[in-house]
Structure 1
Amino acid sequence: MEQVLLVVDVQPCFDPPQWQVDDIKQLAPTMHSIATVERHNEDVTPFWRQLGWKPSSDDEPLVVTDRVFVKHGYAPPVELIRYLKDAGVQRVLVCGIQADTCCLAAGFLLFDAGLHPTMLKWLTVGSSLDRSAELGARLWRHHFGQNSVIDRVDDLGR
């Protein structure tokens, strides 16, 4: 398997736009897909103590994928990297919630593991600083190369 779709934190507590959920639901069954779901555990990540906010402790992804990885914090768990490496994945197509935080954290972890993170911009929303994901796309291109962002579904096969 050369590539996989990674759906980052598309779950109820982050209130993703319905168009995003619907469009990812269409793409996910066309390839091997995995998801992360953020769950609260204050002993692992101090969301409440430092930010006065916390994700749900029992959310489930809103998109059905082949595998789900629970995470506590911004970055995916190391088990996800092990899974991708064992499967022989080279490129990871990333979409989801918060292009400039959680998706970017996934990108760094993937890059550091020797994989090729590629943002699917049309399926990704940014944080409250920039819901358009433009900031996230600029950061991806800066850190992972000009070809690390796919802007439109029509460019996916390239």
Structure 2
Amino acid sequence: MSDCLLLIDVQKGFVTERTEYVVPRLKELVRMGFDHIVATKFVNRPGSPFVRHMGWRGMMSSPDTDVLDFVEEAADGVEEKNGYSAVCQRINDYFHENGVDRVYIAGLDSDCCVLKNAADFFDLGYDVTVLMYYTASNGGEDSVKAARTVLSRMIGEDHVVDGRLDAD
């Protein structure tokens, strides 16, 4: 069996003054020797729930939707999504074809897409670990802390890792 680093929405439009600190951490993370790396790319659409219910029209086009270059280069694939979750047939097929049973999650935003994907892949039976040191939120540090609290209840305290990983 193998592992996969799932990088959630590491895109130009989500890198702001509240999240930019995590970019060098993520650059370090992608060089740590995961068996597979898959990235997601969120693209908002006219008429989406984000537009209809929240009035949010961000992340609809390039350059905001562009995945950071180092993520694009490191990833085995980039999956576009139009909602919070990356669970789709293509990723599930990729995981099955490559024997992925352990999913490490990092990226943006801790309290939204990272949390949702951790719960969704947990529900599918994967051994999920969220690497909190390698996440950030445009909601700020309080949102990161809230996500950590919820994640430890949802996927288990032992599956929420706070510190920096060793390269080994």
Q: Which position in structure 1 is the counterpart of 2:8?
A: 8
Aligned equivalent of 1:144, options 151, 155, 164: 155
Matched, 1:39 2:49: no
Q: Which 10-residue stretch deviates more, 112-121 or 53-62?
A: 53-62
Residues of 2 paired with 1:68 and 1:15: CA distance? 18
Residues of 1 paired with 2:98 and 2:83: CA distance? 25
Q: Secondary structure at the match of 1:70?
A: strand
One-letter code of the match for 2:94? Y
Matched, 1:72 2:78: no
One-letter code of the match for 1:107? A
Residues of 2 paired with 1:85 and 1:109: CA distance? 16
Q: Which position in structure 1 is the counterpart of 2:132?
A: 121
Residues of 1 paired with 2:98 and 2:112: CA distance? 26
Alignment of 1:13-28 (within 5 A): 13-16=13-16, 17-28=19-30
Residues of 2 paired with 1:18 and 1:46: CA distance? 27
Q: Secondary structure at the match of 1:122?
A: strand
Q: Which position in structure 1 is the counterpart of 2:66?
A: 60
One-letter code of the match for 2:39? A
Q: Which position in structure 2 is the counterpart of 1:48?
A: 51
Q: CA deviation at 1:60?
A: 2.0
Residues of 1 paired with 2:167 and 2:143: CA distance? 19
Residues of 1 paired with 2:29 and 2:140: CA distance? 27
TM-score under structure 2 length normalisation: 0.82
Aligned equivalent of 2:118, options 95, 102, 107: 107
One-letter code of the match for 1:52? G
TM-score under structure 1 length normalisation: 0.87
User: Are the structure 2 counterparts of residues 53 and 19 from structure 1 closer, same or farther at C-alpha, using a change threshold of 3 Å?
Assistant: same
Q: Which position in structure 2 is the counterpart of 1:84?
A: 95
Residues of 2 paired with 1:119 and 1:102: CA distance? 12
Residues of 2 paired with 1:156 and 1:26: CA distance? 9
Aligned length: 156
Q: CA deviation at 1:144?
A: 0.6
User: Are the structure 2 counterparts of residues 131 and 25 from structure 1 closer, same or farther at C-alpha, using a change threshold of 3 Å?
Assistant: farther
Q: Note the aligned Cα RMSD (angstroms).
A: 2.1
One-letter code of the match for 2:2? E
Residues of 2 paired with 1:22 and 1:143: CA distance? 28
Residues of 2 paired with 1:107 and 1:156: CA distance? 23
